[in-house]
Amino acid sequence: MYPIEGVFVDLDNNNLELQDNWRLGEPNGEDIENCLALDLATRKFVDISCEAALCGFCNFEALLKLKLRGDLHKLNIDREYFWTRNLAENRFILEGIQRNRIIASGNSTWELVNTLTNQTLLSTHITEESLYPFGSRSWTKEWI
Write out the chain's pLDDT in tens, 144 residues.
446 777 777 777 777 776 677 888 888 877 788 888 877 767 788 888 877 766 665 555 556 778 888 777 777 888 888 887 788 878 888 888 778 999 988 878 899 999 889 999 999 988 776 677 877 888 888 764
In DSSP terms, 83 is beta-bridged to 94
Q: Which amino acid type is present at position 50?
A: C
Whether 49 and 107 map to the same domain: the answer is no
Domain count, the chain: 2
One domain for residues 93 and 113: yes
**Same-domain check for residues 85 and 123:** yes
- For the stretch 36-44, contacts whose Cβ atoms lie closer than 8 Å and that sit 24 or more positions apart, written own/partner, are 36/8, 40/97, 40/98, 41/98
Query: Which residue, of 35, 57, 79, is where some domain finishes?
Result: 57
CB-CB contact of 120 with 112 (8 Å): yes
Write the CA distances from 121 to 19, 48, 111, integer angstroms: 38, 33, 7
Q: What's the confidence (pLDDT) of residue 19?
A: 67
**Same structural domain for residues 96 and 49?**
no
* Alpha carbon distance 19, 16 (integer Å): 9
Q: Which domain holds residue 89?
A: 60-141
Whether residue 71 sits in one domain with residue 6: no
* The length of the chain, given as a count of residues: 144
Q: Rounded distance, CA 4 to CA 79, Å?
A: 38
Do 4 and 68 lie in one domain? The reply is no
Q: Which residues pair with 66 in a beta bridge?
A: 81
| Same domain flag for 50 and 81 | no
22 and 69 inside one domain: no
Question: Within 13 A of 40's CA, how many CA atoms are on the CB side?
Answer: 15
pLDDT at position 1 is 47
Let me know whether 137 and 70 are in one domain: yes
113 in the same domain as 49: no
Q: Does one domain contain both 71 and 137?
A: yes
Strand partners, 114: 100
